[in-house]
Chain A
Amino acid sequence: MPKNTHKSPGLSNRSIIQRLGGQNVVVFLIVVALLVFFSITSPNFRKYSTILSILDYSYYITLIAIGVTFPLITGGVDLSIGTGLICYSLVGGYLVVYQGWPVWAGMIVCVLSGAIIGLLNGILVGIMDLPPFLATLCTMMMTRGLGSIFSRGLGIPWPTAGTEGGWFRTIFKLNIEDLKLPLGFLWILLLVALMSYILNHTKTGRYVLAVGCNREATKLSGINIKTVYIKAYLISGIFAGLASIAYSAIFASVYPGTGAGFELEGIGGAIIGGVSMTGGVGSITGTLLGVFIICILKTGLPFIGLQANWQQIITGIVLITAVLIDLNRNKKKLKR
């Protein structure tokens, strides 16, 4: 009998990162390192207003990142989340601002629109078997157009804080007298906890992981993988809808034609946070941390003198680096 050239039986194949406590720990350390770096190099960074700024601009990205984690884990992708969130905001906002709908109804419309497009994506990928990036590229294009059509090409200013409908902004930014509280972060944490639970402890999440891990084996276990794909893209769509609310709450107005590029930050954040392009691996907390790295970079770079536009370049480079690392990780696994 041949001698086994492998390591000792049992728990033998852990990589360095796993030994360090997992990807999440590494990413968390990077977040801390970045915060420390920027705090040291720029005194202005250490102010409370900066933290608020980072958080405010992180909400919509975090939400789409949480949502897109699901399609990514199945081995697919959702590119429509960027232009999508703008579209849903324009649709809901148009109804509120120009048709007099109450703000809460507008918010529901936002989420519903996201759900509809998410469902469409799910059908395109899960039932019609279109390649995910193509299908969602098309819906990306379509939402860009639809949003513009709906808003008649105009920017939509959702009600500002202090006005009658403006209460929805306080969901994210609560101002009590002089104290500014980033309430949105609380909701994010709750959603992270909820989605983490769904991913790890419900059938939906479990089968999403299974399909991404080994589609054939999952099918052979009698699971209907079409439904799994549809659910994954539906979640992504719903979260894009939620993100559109967050976006509207933070920015004064929403303009058609924007949004392209947000999906990069969302997907990039997820990959940095440990979601693998090949599927089967991912955690919601990881995604949260990964998005933070991007947001801290976005906010911090101007403090050390780099213009805001560098952020786009940096995000692109960070995404490629994250994927290269991910590929390397998988290559090592395959060598076994």
Chain B
Amino acid sequence: MGDLILTMKGINKTFPGVHALNDVDFDLHRGEVHALMGENGAGKSTLMKVLTGIYKKDSGTITYEGKVVEFNNPREAQEAGIVIVHQELNFLGHLTVAQNIFIGREYMKGKTIDDARMIEESTRLFQRMNINIDPTEKMNNLTVGKQQMCEIAKAISHDAKIIVFDEPTAALTETEVDELFEIIRELKKKDIGIIYITHRIDEIKVITDRVSVMRDGKYIGTLISKDSTKDDIISMMVGRVIYEEPKTESKVPKDAPVVLKVENLNAGRSVQNISFELHKGEILGFAGLMGSGRTETARAIFGADPKESGDIYVNGTKVEIKSPQDAVIHGIGYLSEDRKRYGIVVQRTVSENSTMACLENFMNGFFINKKKENKETEKYVRSLAIKTPNIDQLVVDLSGGNQQKVVLTKWLVKNCDILIFDEPTRGIDVGAKSDIYKLMNELVKEGKSIIMISSELPEILRMSDRIIVMCEGRKSGELSIEEATQEKIMHLATMGN
């Protein structure tokens, strides 16, 4: 390990309503692989975005190669030698590997692009990295692993001194992971510093030198990888004091009927052979890290995305769900995690959004029975305590919490008995959060059944009767609320198979 190439000290970043980075420290040596771990929302991505100039920090210093720096945009960071290889690769699919690597800075022979030279340089680059890729192949035709290597090669060709990997192995096969690690070892030899964001604890000892953990925007600590244990890391990730009382036991009777049964659901890489049951009056928590496939599973059940195979039973009867229409007919409602894009029609009013799922019940012949619609809407505005000046208010003007309540109203008006909440309190302030929790508890008391997808462990522990944990598209475990702890959940969520 060489000398320090990067020091970040006392980094603070606030967004409206959330202190995303709270006095965070981080440093990196040349030739070191320094892992950065933490739950969703811990602040890892935000820290990297501050480093590369996508966000402007509120306070703190970044020292790079001995000088204090401040990057205003990713291009400046790139030119200085700091490059991110994102999880979602962003490349030009129809162009070739060589063309991608040199986009924007092509070698020219007069007015002509010197493709031959670019191919030559790329080949040399790949040889130096010990990678076997044909630079004349179109990016779209490569596997994800090879595409990623091209991104890395591009970074190196930009003379990168620091490369940030954001969940690099999430989409790779075992062989490809080994190949990636080989390349990382080569990069280390070249004194390139590597920041490695991952949730796979098993990788820490294999490829990293140190591991730092963040939690709720704070820097928790750093361990030397070879001296650390999995438990050490997990307890740093989750070791928070939970101020709310976690649920200690489930009140759902043991003989409660199964309202929803999912068997062998398959929908691409994110939903692999998922099976589970939902009981009447139960809140079934779905825990896991981002990208574990929970939203995809919910959408497949709801018919929003096509599925490859799998059976769904509602109240014991097998049902065919090919579109959201089918799901809604069978009494399933889905509250998307992206409320604004999928949950509400922003430019319409509260009342219009409330009846969206069953407008046919509010007809007077050909005309919409506005009176009935208003009455029903007002009923829920009162019972759910939706803060809005009137029901003709455009939903876009409501706060996040109240928008969520409108989405919920939509499904209650339709009388859905099975509700899937996807990140129900995301982007909602604390006061409204407890409102939502109260509502959920009331709903299950009335006999409805809830699946709650959440990335917030305290929320999972507070609300669920049972917990299913997903990891990389598979169900990695099931826990009752009595036996569940943050550590156990995180263990299951970070399992590599």
Contacts and interface: CB of A to CB of B under 8 A. Distances in A.
B174 interface: yes
Contacts of A2: 173, 269, 272, 472-474, 497
Contacts of A7: 143
Interface string A305-334: 000000000000000000000000000010
B364 interface: no
B78 to A, nearest CB: 9
A220 B269 CA distance: 29
Given A6-B143, A213-B93, A223 B103 contact: yes
A275 to B, nearest CB: 11
B112 A1 contact: no
Nearest to B89: A217
Contacts of B111: 202
B129 interface: no
A201 B115 contact: yes
A206 B99 contact: yes
Given A201-B115, A218-B103, A13 B92 contact: no
B317 interface: no
A10 B146 contact: yes
Nearest to A282: B94
B383 interface: no
A47 interface: no
Given A2-B272, A5-B269, A220-B74, A203 B106 contact: yes
A210 B496 contact: no
A14 B104 CA distance: 27
A41 interface: no
A9 interface: yes
Interface in B161-177: 169, 172-177
B141 A12 contact: yes
Given A9-B146, A203-B113, A1 B497 contact: yes
Nearest to B109: A201
Given A1-B177, A213-B95, A14 B145 contact: no
A181 to B, nearest CB: 32
Contact of B95 (A14, A210, A216, A223): A210
A213 B94 contact: yes
B300 to A, nearest CB: 15
B235 interface: no
Contacts of B133: 10
Interface residues of B, number: 41
A interface, over-half SS: loop
A3 B169 CA distance: 12
Contacts of B144: 6
Given A217-B90, A218-B92, A13 B103 contact: no
B75 A222 contact: yes
A4 B75 CA distance: 34
Given A2-B473, A202-B113, A9 B106 contact: no
A10 B92 contact: no
Contact of A223 (B90, B104, B172): B104
Interface in B257-287: 269, 272
Nearest to B142: A10
B293 to A, nearest CB: 11
Contacts of B55: none
B interface, over-half SS: loop
Nearest to A223: B104
A300 to B, nearest CB: 33
Contacts of B137: 10-11
B281 to A, nearest CB: 35
A216 B272 CA distance: 32
A202 B115 CA distance: 10
Contact of A280 (B94, B104, B145, B176): B94
A217 B92 contact: yes
Contact of B113 (A4, A5, A201, A220): A201
Contacts of B99: 206
B91 interface: yes
Given A9-B175, A203-B113, A223-B103, A214 B91 contact: yes
A154 interface: no
A209 B100 CA distance: 11
B140 interface: yes
A223 B102 CA distance: 12
B143 A210 contact: no
A281 interface: yes
Interface in B115-147: 115, 133-134, 137, 140-146
B131 to A, nearest CB: 11
Which residue, A9, A12, A14, has most C-beta atoms of chain B within 10 A? A9
A281 B138 CA distance: 12
Which residue, B115, B133, B173, has most C-beta atoms of chain A within 10 A? B173
Contacts of B112: 197, 201-202
A11 B141 contact: yes
A221 interface: yes
A281 B94 contact: yes
Contacts of A217: 90-92
Interface in A1-38: 1-7, 9-14
A49 to B, nearest CB: 41
Given A10-B143, A201-B115, A221 B104 contact: yes
Contact of A13 (B94, B140, B496): B140
A213 B497 CA distance: 36
B90 A216 contact: yes
B304 to A, nearest CB: 16
A5 B266 CA distance: 12
A210 B95 CA distance: 7
Given A3-B174, A6-B143, A220-B75, 11 more contacts: A1-B169, A2-B474, A4-B143, A4-B172, A6-B173, A11-B141, A202-B111, A216-B90, A220-B90, A221-B103, A280-B93
12 contacts: A1-B172, A4-B143, A10-B142, A10-B146, A202-B113, A209-B94, A213-B92, A218-B92, A218-B103, A220-B74, A221-B103, A280-B92
Interface of B: 74-75, 90-95, 99, 103-104, 106, 108, 111-113, 115, 133-134, 137, 140-146, 169, 172-177, 269, 272, 472-474, 496-497
Sorted from nearest, which 5 A-B pairs have the closest CB atoms?
A4-B173, A221-B104, A280-B94, A213-B92, A217-B90
